[in-house]
Each structure stands twice: as C-alpha cells, then as structure tokens.
Amino acid sequence: MAGSGPASERTPSTTPGNPGDPAPAPVLAALPVDEPDDPGPVFESLFDNDPGQPRKARRGRPPATALQRAIGLLTRREHSRKELTRKLVSRGVDAAEVEAAVDKLTGAGWQDDRRFAESLVRSRVANGYGPLHIRAELGTHDLAPAIRECVMEEFDGDWAQIARDLVARRFERLEDARERERRASEYLIRRGFPGDVARAAVRFQPDD
C-alpha cells in the first residue's frame, strides 16, 4: 500500500551485502498512477548486444523488448513480481519473454518483493490507511508470508497516533460530539484500522 517525485536512475547491486546492511537500491517513487513504460534513451543500450554501435545506426530501433519495458516500469516505482508480470502480459508481451525478463531483473536486484512491500506500506500509511487494509493489499501480490509479516512488524509508526491524527484533521470542525465520534469511527474502520484503535482515537482528548 504514502508525494512522489521523479524516480532516480538505478544501479543494480553486484555484490551481496551482510544481512544487516541497508538495501543498496535507491528508493523509488511510492506507488503513483501508472505511466508509459518506454525506458527511454537512458536504458537504450543497457542490455544491447552491441552497446558500442553508433547511435545514428540505432535511431530506428525495433519495439522495446520485455526487458526494456519492465525496466521502464521499475524506474517509475517499485513493483511486486506478480504485478510486474501481470502488467507486461496485459500489454501484449509474450508470457515466456516476460518470465525470463523478470527473472533476470530479480536476479540483478532491480525487482525486489521486499523493497516493494516496504514502499507499499509507506505509501498507504501516508495516505491514511490502517494495518488491516495494508495487510490485505500485501496479500494480493503473492508475496512470501515472511516478507508480509516482516514489513508490518518493522514499521515503526504508532497506529493509535496515526488514527488520532486522522480524526483531528478530518473531523475537528464537527461540533456535535456524538456525530463526530460516529463518523470518525466509521471512517477509520473503512480505512482498515482495528475497532479498538478506532474507538480509542475518536474518544481521545488532548488532556488524556
């Protein structure tokens, strides 16, 4: 499932790090609306068999390959393996070519389900979603259970405080206390906050 700016140029890691080291890949934009997947000239020769060929001879290059189209998507934001595969196949790319391309990118560190899950959590929290919604959305991406649990456990935000902030931001102008409590509670439940967190948030008083 947090604004996003232009994605930075990415360089895949070539040497494994220690388990405790931070991920080497740069942070990508967090889950924006889909954009065109042409990787553009910056990736034109990334996987070219003859990168030294003069540019003029390659101006009429053939349609982008599965690998190039996958890179175009990944430079805009993180994708799960399932999502990346689905998008490419739905755009008419041969399924076998897609599988080979995604395997290559995963092996090179360009596609990473753990990084995707962390990005989704940050994005959804920033947009006011609670843990139940985020867990459910993670589950739609066929991520390994260990990844789903890890990213949720390692999230260092305070769900109770997040819920209180949402209530204060969206409902503080409602003068009727009962109406404010009812509407705020329904809102938090719809956004995926547990019932006990929602109830505590709507009844919270700053002096508590």
* Model pLDDT for residues 146-195, shown as the tens digit of each residue: 999 999 999 999 999 999 999 999 998 888 889 999 999 999 999 999 99
Quote the pLDDT of residue 17. 45
Quote the pLDDT of residue 58. 53
Quote the pLDDT of residue 40. 42
**Calpha distance 186→193 (Å, rounded):** 10
The larger pLDDT score, comparing residue 126 to residue 11, is at 126
**Mean pLDDT for all residues in the chain:** 80
CATH architecture, range 159-203: Orthogonal Bundle (1.10)
Average pLDDT over every residue of 108-125: 97
Identical fold, 115-154 and 159-203: yes
115-154 — its CATH code?
1.10.10.10
Quote the pLDDT of residue 78. 98
Q: Is the pLDDT of residue 46 over 50?
A: no
Quote the pLDDT of residue 7. 42
Where do the domains of the chain lie?
115-154, 159-203
- Kindly calculate the radius of gyration of the chain based on its CA atoms and give it in whole angstroms: 21
Instruction: Please tell me the pTM assigned to this model.
Output: 0.69
